[in-house]
Every structure is written in C-alpha cells, then in structure tokens.
Structure 1
Amino acid sequence: MKYHDRSRQAIKIAGKLARVRKIAILQASAPGDFIFTLPALEALRHTYPRAEFVLLGQEWHATFLHGRPSPIDRVVVVPDYCGAHETDLSDQEVNELTCFFARMQAERFDLALQMQRGGRDVSTFLLRLQARVSAGYATSDGPQLDRSLLYTPFQHEILRWQEVATLVGVAKEACTQPELVVIAKDLEESLRVVAADPRPLVVLHPGSDDPRCRWPGQHFAAVGDALAREGMRIAITGSEQEVDLATGVARQMRAPALNVAGKLSYAGLCGLLSRCRLVIANDAAIQQLASCVGTATIGLYWCVNMLSSGPLNRQRHLPFISWQLHCPTCDHNQLYGHCGHLASLITDISSDEVISSARELLRA
C-alpha cells in the first residue's frame, strides 16, 4: 500500500494526530502574513513538541529565521512558479517542479498545513506533498483537503490561522500577540545603518502594498516635524520599491530625518524597530514587526483592513481608522469591488490627532 493511500485510514480520526514526526507548513508569503501565523505555530509546537516543523516558504524566510529562536526547525524554499499552471511553464520549470515535489514526497510528511491565503492552486499544491493528513481552508472550486474550513473574509488573520490549527488538535485558546526574538545580527545590521544616539527614535513608514491604504506624505511630514521639535530622532523606512515615497516625506519635512528606505533587510528592520520608542505606519508588514518586538505603534487603517490585521490590544498600539468607503475619483463603493483607481481611502485621518496620540504613547 502506498504511503499516501495508507494515510487515508487516519483522516476520520478527529483531534490530535498520533505519531506525528514531521509537519509541513505552507507559508510562502510576505513578512506580515507570516507574522500572523506565529501564535498558531507556537500552539502547534506545544501540541506536537517532538515533531520537526518544516516551513515551505521564500528565500527571505530562510535568511530571516536562520539562527533565530522560533517554532520553525527548517525552511525549504518553494520555487517561485509553484502554483502556476504547468501549461504556462517552460519544460525546464516543469522538470524542476517535478523534482521539487518528488523531494517533498520523499520527506514523508505526517501533516501538511495550509497557512497562506489562496484558492484552488494552494490546495492542489498541498495535496501534491502527499502528506498523511492535509488541513487548511477549502474553496468550492478546488480539491478538498482532509480537514478543512470554509474560507470567509473579514476575519482577523491571527484568529484565522489559530482556527486552522484547531483542525489538527490544537486546543482552542485566547488569541495572543505574535512575538519575535531580536538577535545580535538584527541589532548589528541596524546599527550600521542608523548609528546609536541618545535621542529617542521614532520611525515613520509611509508605504503600503495597496496605494489606497497610504496616508498622504504631507501628513507623515507634519507628524515627523512635530515630534522632532520635541526632541525625537526621526527615521523613515520603506522597501526598495518605496524609496521615492520615503524621499518625498523627508523632503516635505523641515526637520532632518534619516531616510533608510531600501537599506535594511527584515532582520535589520527588527533590530531598528526594537530600538524605537514608537512606529507610525500604514497597514504594512512593519506595523506587525514593530508589535512583535515590543515597540509601541500607531497604525493608520482603512476600515476593512482593520478587521483582518488591526492590533489586538490598545495598551501600546493605537489604531486610527478611516471609514471612507467610496472612491474619491469615481465614487464607487469599495466594499463591492475595486474600481481600479488608486486614490487613498485614508486621507481623512487627522494628523493633529495622530500627533496628540503619539505624545501620549511617548510619555507612557
């Protein structure tokens, strides 16, 4: 009997699986998405303490997690074109995919968990691992996993992945704040870019993957100037693709600011954020990184995003929410689909109110 076929005898058993020695976690997404899975991964580690946890992720996962205490034991980098239809791939890419899945099947995973968003292609990927049991979210148009939940929008991402973990025996427990351990290499990289200074450090992050969720640059500049007048040292962060955004904010400020956009890896960002008193950011991965290393945050959210990625507590994390639903360009209601325009939906958040809240957090 084949290994995968033999496993079918086990899928009717509810709760925790027996004799689990190796678990595959599919999470080949961006840093913010990975952070949301951390409480679920910690709970899985507690439930299966002797299993090897293998993250199927991206190159950045391997670099970031190397030497860092976490629930993950090993990272396997997934080919970029995994999940693409093979008719769209070259012969070489098809051969590489065949070899990749052959290696994964040879791992003989006892459990494969889908911990990234996606449709039928993600489920297809998970099933090609031929794990003893597969679990995750189901779609009506795709293959069914052994244990699954129906995907629904408007759920906090931390709760979403904890709910997936309950499919395989993790006890239902209170939602917890994700945490990351800051290690020496994080601090060393950050100090090479932003030298030590006795002034308290505040980070501004004007970028976001979705232009509709970006607070105007002049608002960030006004906040930066107000805090600089009170003795804060201002740094502006962003990805390599957001250098122009960060430069625009720096140019609009009257006070000097350190523009470090594109100069730090995710590890270096962890180091920098751990040295900060406060981070003021759009809904972006840096918001999650800051809260994970214990830094206070002010988040600028469109109302829909607040539901899925907002902070879980208010002691050190203050969200500002825009309830603007209609596109400023064409008046289309964004709840009923994206019209294609990229005008910001969070311009109505007041910079004066953000400055006042920033002062309160800094005093605390």
Structure 2
Amino acid sequence: MRHTPSHERSVVDDVCRVLALRANGIGDFLVVIPALTAVRHAYPEAEITVVGDAWLPALVAGRPGPWDRCLVAPKYPGLRGLPADAAPAADTEQFIAARCRERVDLALQLHGGGGTSNTFVSSLGARVTAGARADGAPPLDRTVPYLPHRHEVLRWLDVVALVGATHLGAVDELTPRIAVTERDRDEARRVLPGGHPYVALHVGARDARRRWPAERFVELSRRIMAAGLHVVLVGGPDDRAASARAAARLGDRDRVRNVTGRLSLSGTIGVLADAAAFVGNDSGPRHLAAAVGTSTVGVFWLTNVFAFGPLVGVADRALVSQQVHCPVCGEEQLETRCQHDVSFVDAVAVDEVEAALWQVLGVERRRPASRPAADVGAEEAAG
C-alpha cells in the first residue's frame, strides 16, 4: 500500500476552502487543534470548516480558534459513534451534495484509520484529499499510515504535513489549547459563588476500564478538604449518578459542590478554567481542563496514555496503570476486549494521585509512605 513520500508533501495551490473531519468525542477533537493551527498558518486566507459530532457547535460557536465554521456530520458509518457497518442516515446525500456545491479545495480526514471516513471524505468533491490510512482502508490523494500506539497530537500533525502544514512554533504548541470566553466564566460564576479555591474532580469515563474506583475519589476529596480546598464534581449527564453517590458519601455541602450535568459545555469550561487543579480519569473533562491551562492529574490506563496522555510540559501529570489482563477472566486486553466492564486502573493508589496533585499545585506536603483509605466499604460505587 503506497503512501505519500516526503518530497511530495507540498502546499496545495489556490486553496480557498478547507474542510476537516473529526466526528467523535471531546478529547478526540481537542487533540487535532495543533494540526488545525498548522493548517491555519499554511493557508491563512482559507475558510476552515470543522465537521464533527452534534456537541461540537457548542464548543466552537463564538470561541476563537483555527476554524471559521462548524458543521455537524451526518450519521454515517464510523462517524459520531456509529459502528462501521451501520447504514448512512437519510441526510447523508444532502450533506455531501451541499459540500460538492461549495467546491471544497482541500478535505482532511482527521478522524481515524479511514476504513469508512476515507470514503466519506472522498465523496465531498474536494480537489485534494489527505488523511491517515490503515491497512485495507480506501485511498486518498495523500496519505500517511495509521500506526498503532501513536500519540494523537503527533498523528494528525503528520497528516496535515502532507499538505505543507508544517508550522510548529514553541514546544508548548503541542498542547491543545482553547480560549476561555466571558460566557464560560459567567455561567460558572452563577453556580459557584464565593470565590473559594477548589479542585475539580471528574469521577466518570465512558469506558469502565478507565474509571478509577469511586471510593478513591472520595478519600482523595477528604484529603483535599483537610488541606483547606473545596471540591467541585464535574461531568456530563451520563456522570450524574456517579457524582451524586460520591457527593452523598462526602456529605459536606459547604465544601463539596456537585455541578455534574447541570452546566452547558461552556459553563463546564468556565468551572475548569477557574479551578486550582483538576483530577480525573482519561476523559473529555481532563482534556478540556488541560486545554484551558488548568493543571491536571489524570489516571490513565496503559494503552490510552500512549495516545492521549500529556505530551509536553510539567503542568499535567499522568498516573498510569499497567494492568493489561481482565481482573475477572484474565484475558489480555491490548488487542481484544472481553465482556467484563471493570476498572483496569484501580492499582493506582490514592497516595500517588495526592502527591501528584500537591506537585502541580506547588504545595509541599509530607505524608506517610502508605496510608489506608478511610472510606473503603463493602460495596463499590460504579464511578
């Protein structure tokens, strides 16, 4: 399978319209921002349209960034969480026809390995297409191989380099960043009055294997409050139950605020931007916190830290579990997945996360080498 050699990776002439496809989760979109920034530098006069999932307009509307317009992708196989063998939604042909009428000059597949997304991008009628291509995926005009265990920021920088977008300023530009707007802060202030310094915690994650046990978050929260900081529980609607259980076990309504599922994406960004630090699983809120410049402590499963862990700088810390076999059936999970939805990150100790938190906060605290958790009960919350 032929890919584009380095000497053929040049800027495309006369580009007025660029379209970039990335139709998946929040963290997935944030890691392509450095690539989009490089495209903006290479094509400063072009209109850049990002095509994503239904939540994306709420993030980019009114927010400065390397984009001019946002469109929601149709429900197409492999996009927006649909399986690769799903049937395209009825509006797919209408979406494709509209893009063809716009005469896109450059279409970038920044979505995945291209099994279905390369076909979708090819259908948009662009003069030049570029993207990643896994074994067996359809070709584009310019491609790089879709390699396993590649950091996602670097993967998509490789893709845009195919079209001459090679700008990289300071190393800090490898960290995805988004601007914080006054709208973000206004919504955050409405739910968090008082001005007390707080640590934002996210106890959820879409994949159960990436969820740190809920009682660890509860014990960590008690230590945070003992140090004089407040705790704010954040997350989306799917995290409501887990956050409610954690808040109930903590019980301190003066120092624990649960805003999970109560805020728009904008308000969540405002809460994360004003936090002293963030602690949570490898999930969208952690990526958002890092993107607004808040120091983060993330609990990662081994396979995910390669692709989504902190890449540069010292403001973000990763605590990594190297568990690769299912704790229930013993099946190795690097290439396959069993039916057990259990945590693969419970080996990460509260002491480790707490120590990393004080480090990013610049606080010197001495603790015993080992401290038993104070709130480990017979049952474990789902997180």
Question: Partner residue of 2:179?
Answer: 181
Q: Which residue of 2 aligns with 1:208?
A: 205
Given that 1:54 and 1:72 are in contact with CA atoms closer than 8 Å, whether structure 2 keeps it comes out as: yes
Question: Aligned runs of 1:330-345 on 2, under 5 Å?
Answer: 330-345=329-344
Alignment identity in percent?
34
Asked if residue 155 in structure 1 is aligned to residue 155 in structure 2, the reply is no
Kept in 2, the 8 Å contact 1:27–1:115? The answer is yes
1:247 CA displacement? 1.2
Cα 1:78/1:120, change in 2 over 3 Å: same
Q: 1:191 aligns with which of 189, 192, 198?
A: 189
**Residue 326 to residue 225, structure 1, CA distance change in 2 (3 Å):** same
Residue of structure 1 aligned with 2:238, choices 238, 241, 262: 241
Aligned residue in 1 for 2:367:
none
Contact 1:25 1:54 (8 Å CA) reproduced: yes
Q: 1:227 and 1:70, CA in 2 relative to 1: closer, same or farther beyond 3 A?
A: same
- Helix, strand or coil at the partner of 1:24: strand
| Structure 1 residue 109: Cα displacement | 0.6
Structure with the higher fraction of residues in helix conformation:
1
Please give the per-residue CA displacement for 1:242-296, whole angstroms capped at 9, x wherever unaligned: 1111112112225442111111222111111110001001000111111111101
Return the offset for 1:70.
Answer: 0.5
What SS does structure 2 have at the residue aligned with 1:59? Answer: coil
Report whether the alignment pairs 1:22 with 2:17: yes
Give yes or no for contact 1:228–1:255 (8 Å, CA) kept in 2: no
* Aligned-pair CA distance for 1:206: 0.8
Aligned pairs for 1:340-351 (under 5 A) are: 340-351=339-350
Is the contact made by 1:225 and 1:254 (CA closer than 8 Å) also made in structure 2?
A: no
Residue matched to 2:165: 170
Name the SS for the 1:120 alignment partner.
Answer: coil
Question: How does the TM-score come out when normalised to structure 1?
Answer: 0.91
Given that residues 82 and 97 in structure 1 are in contact (C-alpha distance below 8 angstroms), is that contact kept between their aligned partners in structure 2?
no
Equivalent-residue separation in structure 2 for 1:26 and 1:186 (angstroms):
26
Structure 2: 5+ residue runs without aligned partners? 1-6, 364-383
In structure 2, do the counterparts of structure 1 residues 356 and 85 end up closer, same or farther at CA, with 3 Å as the change threshold? closer
**Offset at 1:362?**
2.2
Higher mean C-alpha deviation, range 123-132 or range 336-345: 336-345
Q: How far did residue 61 of structure 1 move?
A: 1.6
Post-superposition Cα deviations, 1:5-55, rounded to whole Å, max 9, x if no partner, equal xxxxxxx96411111110011112211111000011111100110100011
Q: TM-score by structure 2 length?
A: 0.86
User: How many angstroms apart in 1 are the aligned matches of 2:202 and 2:87?
Assistant: 37
In structure 2, how many angstroms separate the alpha carbons of the residues matched to 1:88 and 1:221? 40
**Against the structure 1 CA distance between its residues 82 and 75, is the aligned structure 2 distance closer, same or farther, given a 3 Å change threshold?**
farther
Report the AA paired with residue 279 of structure 1.
F
1:87–1:170 Cα change, 3 Å:
closer
The Cα offsets for residues 304-353 of structure 1, whole Å up to 9 and x where unpaired, read as: 11111111235211111111111100111112311121111110111022
- 1:15-164 correspondence runs (5 A): 15-81=10-76, 89=87, 93-94=89-90, 96-164=91-159
Aligned equivalents of 1:168, 1:121: Cα separation in 2: 21
Q: Secondary structure at the match of 2:222?
A: helix
Distance verdict in 2 for CA 1:160–1:89, change over 3 Å: closer
C-alpha displacement of 1:150 = 1.5
**Residues 1:321 and 2:316 aligned together:** no
Give the Cα–Cα distance (whole angstroms) in 2 for the partners of residues 228 and 43 of structure 1.
42
* Larger CA deviation: 168-177 vs 186-195: 168-177
Structure 1 distance, partners of 2:264, 2:312, is: 27
RMSD of equivalent CA atoms: 2.1
8 Å contact from structure 1 (residues 222, 351) kept in 2: yes
Moved more, 213-222 or 317-326: 317-326
Is the aligned partner of 1:270 residue 2:265?
A: no
- Tell me by how many angstroms 1:63 deviates: 2.2
Structure 1 regions of 5+ residues with no counterpart? 1-11
Q: What residue identity is the alignment partner of 1:307?
A: F
Deviation at 1:361, TM superposition (A): 2.4
Aligned partners of 2:87, 2:291: CA distance in 1, in Å? 38
| Aligned counterparts of 2:87 and 2:322: Cα–Cα separation in 1 | 43
Match of 1:49, SS state, is: coil
Distance 2:86 2:54 in 1: 23
Separation in 2, partners of 1:204, 1:184: 23
Letter in 1 for 2:180: V
**C-alpha deviations, 1:60-113, integer Å up to 9, x for none?**
2222211111111011222224667999659xx44x322221111001011000
Greater displacement, 171-180 / 255-264: 171-180
Aligned AA (1:18) = D
Q: Distance in 2 between matches of 1:88 and 1:176?
A: 35
Verify the 8 A CA contact 1:240 1:261 in the aligned structure 2: yes
Could you tell me how far apart the structure 1 residues matched to 2:246 and 2:43 are?
Answer: 47
Alpha-carbon distance in 2 for matches of 1:152, 1:133: 22
The one-letter code matched in structure 2 to 1:227 is I
Which secondary structure state, in structure 2, belongs to the residue aligned with residue 342 of structure 1?
Answer: coil
Mark the CA change 1:86 to 1:60 in structure 2 (over 3 Å): closer, same or farther. Answer: closer
* Aligned equivalents of 1:206, 1:180: Cα separation in 2: 23
What code does the residue aligned with 1:302 have? W
